[in-house]
Amino acid sequence: MINGYYFITDSVLSRESSISDVENAIDAGVTVVQYRNKAGCTRIIYEEALELKKICSSARFIINDRVDIALAVDADGVHIGRKDMPYEAARDLLGKSKIIGMSVHSMGEALEAEKQGADYLGVGPIFATTTKRDIEQPCGTSLIREIKKVCKIPVAAIGGIDLDNAGSVIEAGADAICAISAVITKSDVRKEIEKFQALFIKEK
């Protein structure tokens, strides 16, 4: 369900636009796209999500945080963190068929998220990152290994991942990797994603 390079948008970091970035991601063969927009108003987020959903016909389309937007555009699911809508409420609204991913930063949080019914875990930050503010301290690849020993649901690793350290993240057991700034700040988004995809296949 969640594997390989996991693409997440960021309109602030992007050299082009979220639309262009997602088009390149789909061309590069990604199978899951998460739309994350922390700065836009609801109307803009809704309209952009509608456009992105059309582009993602061959990939699962996940909305970050906004359960209302996911419902409005009939996205494949949402990704939520500790400060977002509680899992139980999100599941009640979305129904059983939609995907719900949860951000976790410790073994305890991972076990709780799986117990609640999360479909996958977003584990991080693995390394130091400047992509998000107010984040936890880096947990390193050791947390991935620990979680994979006891949790059965997929793990998507995020935070400070680039081409130099992605191999160690995949080797630790991550089912998917998210490397935002290492891709969308570059001149050729598709080419950069393909580099990660190739590394992932090589490591696996």
Report whether the peptide linkage leading into residue 125 is cis, meaning its omega lies within 30 degrees of zero: yes
Q: Could you give the CA distance from residue 201 to residue 117 in angstroms, rounded to a whole number?
A: 28
- Residues 20, 60, 106, 132: which is the catalytic one? 132
The verdict on whether 36 is a catalytic residue reads: yes
- Residues 11, 36, 91, 98: which is the catalytic one? 36
- Please enumerate in sequence order all residues whose Cβ is within 8 A of that of 4, keeping only pairs 6 or more positions apart, or say none: 29, 30, 31, 176, 177, 197, 200
Q: Could you give the CA distance from residue 105 to residue 140 in angstroms, rounded to a whole number?
A: 10
Rg (CA), the chain: 16
63 and 22 Cβ atoms separated by less than 8 Å: no
- Residues 66, 91, 98, 103: which is the catalytic one? 103
The verdict on whether 54 is a catalytic residue reads: no
The verdict on whether 38 is a catalytic residue reads: no
Catalytic positions are: 36, 103, 132
